[in-house]
Amino acid sequence: MKAIYQRPESLTSDTTTYCPGCGHGIIQKLIAEIVDELGIRERTIGVAPVGCAVLSYNYFNFDVTEAAHGRAPAVATAIKRLLPTRIVFTYQGDGDLAAIGTAEIIHAAARGENFSVFFVNNAVYGMTKGQMAPTTLLNQKTTTTTKGRNSTIHGYPIRVCELLSSLDGVTYLERTSISDISGILATRKAIKKAFLWQMQNKGMGFIEILSPCPVNWKKSPSESMKWIKDVMENYYPVKVFKDPGNVT
């Protein structure tokens, strides 16, 4: 019997304009599924800053507001403090959160703001055609590191989860991957836990998700998934850094 796909209510019927093989579609579908499962669509507010993430408002079928580049945590802080019963999350890429938004996420985390963060790490600036990001790996070629990232010239990639793990305000912290089915299922579970954690007012839940960018990596979608597994996960290990325990 042929399986019938049922679109989550929390996704619009619009066809996405993400590049072939991009991970945003997978991640946004997982978020939408969890929002539906928890029955929180009418009180959920997403915050999408500059980058590929800004397209989110076209696809999420609930309130989504835009934010200036890197400022999503500040906007989410204001929304959550003014409307504490709303479920608030930021959806940010690595060129946003780990670059211009570094101070924003660190201070929001230090304050223990009670919203969820979904951080999509594809190790490159996606929307602006593939420049080096703070998360670009050593020797990785981009449009601004044509011979590969060199630590002497460009410094080292930033491990955001490891950086935030020392801050007490982040009470749930996990890195996942969508490089295969098991990783996608683990990511879905982490997204649900982050929302439940927020619903219990227990501080910031932060999920980093390793995601493919085939066009800017100049790889096929299948090669990109393999590169995440074989290369990215070596530098950015998939693990739970802070576990909130069972939440229901």
What 3 state SS string does 129-174 have?
CCCCCCCCCECCCCCCCCCCECHHHHCCCCCHHHHHCCCCCEEEEE
What is the C-alpha to C-alpha distance for residues 173 and 236, in angstroms, rounded to an integer? 14
Sign (positive or negative) of CA dihedral 48, 44, 109, 91: negative
pLDDT over 70 at 244, yes or no? yes
pLDDT tens track for 201-226: 999 999 999 999 999 999 999 999 99
Q: What is the enclosing helix (H) or strand (E) of 80? A: helix 72-82
Q: Domains in the chain and their CATH numbers?
A: 24-132+158-242 (3.40.50.970)
Mean pLDDT, the chain, whole residue set: 94
pLDDT tens track for 67-124: 999 999 999 999 999 999 999 999 999 999 999 999 999 999 999 999 999 999 999 9
Residue for token pair 């802070």 = 242
Q: Is 53 within 8 Å of 96 (Cβ atoms)?
A: yes
What is the C-alpha to C-alpha distance for residues 149 and 146, in angstroms, rounded to an integer? 8
What is the C-alpha to C-alpha distance for residues 80 and 88, in angstroms, rounded to an integer? 6
Stated pTM of the model: 0.95
DSSP count for the chain of H helices, then E strands: 10, 7
